[in-house]
Structure 1
Amino acid sequence: MHNKLLSFDAVYRMVRQHSLIEFPQHAECSSQKTVNAYLKSSGSSLHAPGPGLNFSHRTADVISEFDHFIITDKNREALYVDIADMVRWLRDNGYLLRSVEDELCFYPTDKLLRTSSLVF
């Protein structure tokens, strides 16, 4: 993993959660959309900008270690890379099925639905 906070399994669970929130519809699994879904589900009021852009926030918005990381880590772009790599790995290994309409959108497969963690 390129990022310094989240493990392989944590990034997997982040992508999985985002896919399940949208289920039975497809989910746009771009890094920005996945991070925003994670932030929203954790109760954060932050909103992740696109890659290369900075967050604007109030001090009161920072409520978790992840919030602090995503705002202050100079290498947070590494998380976006890790998410993109994870989505590609999940697609290549039968966890996600690409939507016909959009190459960034995926449907969860039974394999993703049944696998809550990649730590065995």
Structure 2
Amino acid sequence: MIETTAPTGSATLGADKAYYTAAHVAALRALRVTPHVVQNQTNRRSAIDGRTTRHPGYAISQCIRKRIEGPFGSMKAAGGFWQTKHRGRERVRWMFTIRAAAYNLIRLPCLLATI
């Protein structure tokens, strides 16, 4: 999908920790796409080096990624979505919609306070 939609200029791609592999990062760089993947710094050499982390866009991307993953973690922990109790796309979609609506209701006072 990246190959067909990546512009010829500079593009970035945010990805989860599962996509942190040297082969994936090299493939993205070959397509002239900057990978904004979480940098792994524990006991091995990082595939994401200073070419990516020195730019302020990388830090912003990591903050936004955290904001996006927060609701999903909350739905898994408090909403019981860590394992679905239904089978089939329609039922799981319904279950996800209900949990997302409940999460939005919980966030509503904070959102209204900023207005």
- Whose helix proportion is higher, 1 or 2? 2
| Larger RCO (CA within 8 A; separation ≥ 6) | 1
Please say which structure displays the higher CA radius of gyration. Answer: 2
Query: Is the pair's TM-score, using the shorter chain for normalization, greater than 0.5?
Result: no
TM-score normalised over the length of structure 2:
0.29
